[in-house]
Amino acid sequence: MEGRSSHRKSINYLVDVLMVLFLPMLAAYSLIGERFHEIVGTTMFLLFLTHLFLHRKWLGSVFKGRYTPYRACLTGVNMILLVLMFLQPLSGITVSKHLYTFLPLTGLASQAREIHMTLAYWCYVMMSFHLGLHMDQMVSIADRKLKTGTAVKRIVSLALWAASAYGIYAFIHRGFPDYMFQRTLFAFFDYDEPMLAFFTDYLAIMILFAAIGYYTGRLLKKK
Amino acid sequence: MKKIIVCVITVCLMLSLAACGSGNQKAPENAGGTAQQNTQQHHETAGADAAQSEKTGDTSNADKKVLVVYFAYSENMGDTSGMEVDAITSASLNQHTDNELGNLQIMAQEAAAVKNGDLFSIQITDPYDPDYGKMVGVAQEDQRNGKQFTFVEAIENFDDYDVVYIGVPVWWSKLPQPMVSFFEHYDFSGKTLVPFGIHLGSRFGSMIGQMKELEPDAVFLDGFTIRADTDNERVKVEFDAFLETVD
């Protein structure tokens, strides 16, 4: 029983790590190639379905028990993500240029493209926030492991704070608000910029919203 | 059972909320959609600008022959004389501005005036639908299928030009398909190309790379892009500043 549970946990962990890695890759869209984007996107959806399956108990208990502020927040975020994560593949397949061209979906391509693009940035923010809400366990594990070296701990936390601060700049600089509120309907990709710069910025944005999620979670749990 | 129903209703509600979010956006536009009032007005202004150029004309590179070509959707929607002006502008980005002209035309005229160039508007024999909603899907299909276009007029003495300013709307981060045919039709080897474009967020997207692939033996200078929905006046000011940097 114990063995099975730890086995399940490691699959769980692997799925989550892969999803975190895939998210910035998806955001890079044409920088990494449109066909590759579609492959990664498809894999992401399969990972999401696995994630849902592994947490089916959570889904089943949504209407049970008492709602604390933290649980209400988590459930709200997860429900939004649930919708987004089904809308993304649907809209994506509609505008597909490579993998799903055999499907006769062309009429709504223009609207689907806008939905896909706008929701992509919402997904990015919400998934990072969702990650942050669940960061508690990870932080406490890290806390225990880094017990001995307080200097290491300090450096790590300082680095995360710095990354979050930079994330604010990257969030604005990369045009997230414009994309999220449809002021910009066509994404800009700089093909001359080193890929590393792109991923650094997007990682910082992820850390920023994970941090916001983490502290929101802590705040709600206190009450 | 009750719970399942509640669950379904919740999801439906959220879906409808999401639909609201995307429902109140402005009409789907792409960077090419700067429809204008009519082309007659364009010609009048072009005349005025040409007159102005005699005063301000730049003579520093008089030895180089300059051509300014541009492709504007508004000049490639067939005969719109029978249509209400509003029928054209309703689909236009200009509904959010006080613009009377498309920004591509503004820039093309400006480049021709400042650089003493000849102005050429690229027009296809098989124009796009004046209804922007219909045109969008067709334009995207053209890009996918690599449709071949032919042109109403040929550029006279094309070989004589040294520098070509080339104005295009960026469509889905790429060249409009008619422009691909244009580059296949004309050989720009040895010429200097200065691209300028209008967009709705993508800036040049992957268009410059696409141009370089089509014209590997041309020299490309850094281009200029501006959002399609910028006010005419501001476009003029910023584009003039850009032109000053081009030798």
B75-97: pLDDT as tens digits: 998 776 666 554 444 344 455 56
Q: Which residues contact B186 (CB under 8 A, 6 or more apart)?
A: B155, B158
Residue A153 pLDDT level (bands cut at 50, 70, 90): confident
Sign of CA dihedral B173, B166, B71, B99: positive
Q: Give the pLDDT of residue B83.
A: 63
Q: Average pLDDT for residues A63-77, to the nearest whole number?
A: 95
Strands (E), chain B: 66-70, 118-121, 163-169, 192-199, 219-220, 224-227
Q: Which residues of A touch B203 (CB under 8 A)?
A: 188
Q: Give the pLDDT of residue B39.
A: 35
What percent of chain A stands above pLDDT 70?
Answer: 96
Q: What is the pLDDT of residues B208-239, one digit of tens each?
A: 999 999 999 999 999 999 999 899 999 999 99
pTM value?
A: 0.77
In angstroms, the CA B9 to CA B11 distance is 5
Q: Is the pLDDT of residue A209 over 70?
A: yes
Which residues of A, range 164-183, sit inside 8 Å of B by Cβ?
A: 175, 178, 182
Q: Is the pLDDT of residue A11 over 70?
A: yes
Subunit contact A83:B11, Cβ cutoff 8 A: yes
Residue B229 · residue B93 · CB < 8 Å: yes
Residue A144 pLDDT level (bands cut at 50, 70, 90): confident
Q: Average pLDDT for residues B14-39, to the nearest whole number?
A: 39
Which residues of B, range 85-114, sit inside 8 Å of A by Cβ?
A: none
In angstroms, the CA B188 to CA B221 distance is 13
Subunit contact B205:A79, Cβ cutoff 8 A: no
Residue B47 CA to its chain's centroid (Å): 21
Residue A83 pLDDT level (bands cut at 50, 70, 90): very high
Residue B155 · residue B69 · CB < 8 Å: yes
Residue B119 pLDDT level (bands cut at 50, 70, 90): very high
Q: Average pLDDT for residues A145-158, to the nearest whole number?
A: 80
Mean per-residue pLDDT of chain A: 92
Mean pLDDT check: name the lowest of A190-194, B34-38, B193-197, B228-232: B34-38
Residue B53 · residue B112 · CB < 8 Å: yes
Residue type, B232: N
Residue A110 pLDDT level (bands cut at 50, 70, 90): confident
Question: Does residue A132 or residue B37 have the better pLDDT?
Answer: A132
In angstroms, the CA B100 to CA B94 distance is 8
Q: Average pLDDT for residues B21-25, to the nearest whole number?
A: 36
**Does any CB of chain B come closer than 8 Å to the CB of residue A102?**
no
Q: Is the pLDDT of residue A185 over 90?
A: no
Q: Is the pLDDT of residue B60 over 60?
A: no
Q: Give the pLDDT of residue B62.
A: 59
Subunit contact B200:A189, Cβ cutoff 8 A: no
Question: Does residue A40 or residue A110 have the better pLDDT?
Answer: A40
Nearest to B180 by CA among B207, B158, B204: B207
Q: Is the pLDDT of residue B43 over 90?
A: no
How many other CB atoms are found less than 10 A from the CB of residue B181? 20
Residue A194: is it exposed, middle or buried by C-beta count within 10 angstroms (0-12/13-18/19+)? exposed
Q: Give the pLDDT of residue B229.
A: 87
Nearest to B193 by CA among B178, B211, B175: B211
Which residues of B, range 118-177, sit inside 8 Å of A by Cβ?
A: 136-137, 140-141, 144, 170, 172-173
Sign of CA dihedral B152, B153, B154, B155: negative
**Does any CB of chain B come closer than 8 Å to the CB of residue A12?**
no
Find the residue in A nearest to B22 (Cα). Answer: A115
Q: Which residues of B touch A193 (CB under 8 A)?
A: none
In angstroms, the CA B234 to CA B247 distance is 22
In angstroms, the CA A142 to CA A159 distance is 15
B126-162 exposure pattern, b = at least 16 Cβ within 10 A, e = fewer: ebbebebeebbeebbebbeeeeebebeeebeebeebe
Angle at B108 (CA atoms; ends B107, B110), nearest 5 degrees: 60
